[in-house]
Amino acid sequence: MYIAADNRYEKMVYRRCGRSGLKLPAVSLGFWQNFGSRGCFANMEEMVHTAFDLGITHFDLANNYGNPYNGSAEENFGRILDGMRHYRDEMCISTKAGYEMWEGPYGDRNGSRKYLLASLDQSLKRMKLDYVDIFYHHVFDPDTPPEETALALDHAVKQGKALYVGISNYNRAQTEEILKIFRELHTPYVVNQPSYSMLNRWIERDGLDRFAGEAGFGLAVFSPLYQGFLTDKYLKGIPADSRVGKGETWIGNELNEQMLEKLKQLNAIAAERGQKLSQMALSWVLHNEAVATVLIGASRPQQIVENAACIEKLDFTAEELSRIEAILKN
Ligand SMILES: NC(=O)c1ccc[n+]([C@@H]2O[C@H](COP(=O)([O-])OP(=O)(O)OC[C@H]3O[C@@H](n4cnc5c(N)ncnc54)[C@H](OP(=O)(O)O)[C@@H]3O)[C@@H](O)[C@H]2O)c1
């Protein structure tokens, strides 16, 4: 049986998720890519233990996570939990439904009550849990009325199968619309999950981050390292065992000379700050006050150790910020 490190809570900082009572670790672990049926179980287990030992209490899953997209990440997480269920109340576990999951009209990409509630039951079964802490609608669906999606999420809470609800891949206008319904229903909606990084700043242009601050929900942002670009991994070529090397990302073709030059310049600023590029990239995202937590992916435990250490230097000088801005805008 796994016994967690005694001093784990001294190694992490916890941020309030919007104006809710829920606190999330500044760094959370995501299960999208490296916890599926093709991976090595011992490595997955070590990654989860490493994270928990660093005070990472929040684990972000979805019905379709795993590689291939088949629920295998939830199954593997369930197996890992078997050795650490005695810590269940120290964990915040999230799952989602909304993207393609099973055949036919009810498991296709949508936001229907039919899909969401069936999927949550399947997720709980795979993870062997009675409830998840956060249940998300994974992606905005223009064809389902927002009332139906909101009522389904609200029902999951009333059933005792989720404590809080969230939405993911909703822009500001879509969020405003469903938020009105959550408020009428008194649904404990606390979190919105968009992509956000130095290389992907759509939430700033859209105003979703400012709206989060005004409305009082938190942002749990995904791909904060732009799937690994914002690390020193690609500065000297493309490693065969990397996400780009294995062809497991659609953004691989963005890794051109211009991008590499940008990454090298950012890496130099990180070095001056005494950080790795990955750590500076995470600190930069956390510098946005609307962000409650960054959801990192990892393929090995050492990456989690390195990334969690970003919290040792979260502040930026005005000069650092303007130099970074100049590189990003170039
Ligand atoms: N809601 C949504 O639609 C959505 C979509 C995507 C992701 N997410 C969530 O966000 C999580 C994170 O997404 P992501 O995996 O794209 O995040 P990311 O943190 O931007 O990228 C993770 C990848 O970067 C590389 N990496 C991480 N730390 C490193 C380090 N210190 N040094 C070198 N390389 C490092 C690893 O790639 P290698 O494999 O190459 O080592 C790792 O798999 C997901 O697991 C999921 O929970 C949500």
Q: What is the pLDDT along the chain (330 residues), one digit of tens a residue?
A: 899 999 999 999 999 999 999 999 999 999 999 999 888 999 999 999 999 999 999 999 999 999 777 899 999 999 999 999 999 999 999 999 999 999 999 999 999 999 999 999 999 999 999 999 999 999 999 999 999 999 999 999 999 999 999 999 999 999 999 999 999 999 999 999 999 999 999 999 999 999 999 999 999 999 999 999 999 999 988 888 888 888 888 888 888 899 999 999 999 999 999 999 999 999 999 999 999 999 999 999 999 999 999 999 999 999 999 999 999 998
Q: Is there an atom of ligand 1 within 6 Å of 299 CB?
A: yes
Question: Is the pTM above the cut of 0.85?
Answer: yes
Query: Is 79 in a helix, a strand, or coil?
Result: helix
* 137 in a structural domain: yes
- Give the span between the Cα atoms of 284 and 314, in whole angstroms: 7
- The answer as to whether 211 is a domain residue is yes
| Residue 116 domain-assigned (yes or no) | yes
Q: Is there an atom of ligand 1 within 6 Å of 192 CB?
A: no
Is residue 329 one of the residues assigned to a domain?
A: no
pLDDT confidence of residue 10: 97
Inter-axis angle of helices 113-127 and 146-158, nearest 10? 40
Ligand 1 binding pocket includes 227 (Cβ within 6 Å)? yes
The answer to whether position 16 is within a domain reads yes
Q: Count up the domains in the chain and report the number.
A: 1
Tell me which of 263, 295, 300 to substitute to probe ligand 1's pocket, judged by most ligand atoms within 8 Å of the beta carbon. Answer: 295
| pLDDT for the residue numbered 21 | 98
Q: In this structure, is residue 320 part of a structural domain?
A: no
Residue 325, classified by CB atoms within 10 Å of its CB into exposed (0-12), middle (13-18) or buried (19+), is: exposed
Which tokens hold the place of 244? Answer: 């780009």
Q: What is the pLDDT of residue 247?
A: 83
> What's the pLDDT score for residue 108?
95
The residue type found at 72 is S
pLDDT of residue 250: 85
Residue 319 belongs to some domain of the structure: no
According to the model, what pLDDT value does residue 246 have?
84
Give the ligand 1 atom nearest the CA of 278: 31
Q: From CA 183, how far away is CA 180, in angstroms rounded?
A: 5
- pLDDT for the residue 38: 85
Q: Output the CA 221–ligand 1 centroid distance in Å.
A: 11
Name the residue range of residue 244's domain: 8-256+277-314
CATH number of 286's domain? 3.20.20.100
Sign, CA torsion 244/201/11/62: negative
Q: Is residue 263 part of a domain?
A: no
- What are the CA-CA distances from residue 168 to residues 70, 203, 290 (Å)? 19, 12, 15
Write the single-letter amino acid at 22. L
| pLDDT given for residue 25 in this prediction | 98
Distance CA 119, CA 114 (A): 9
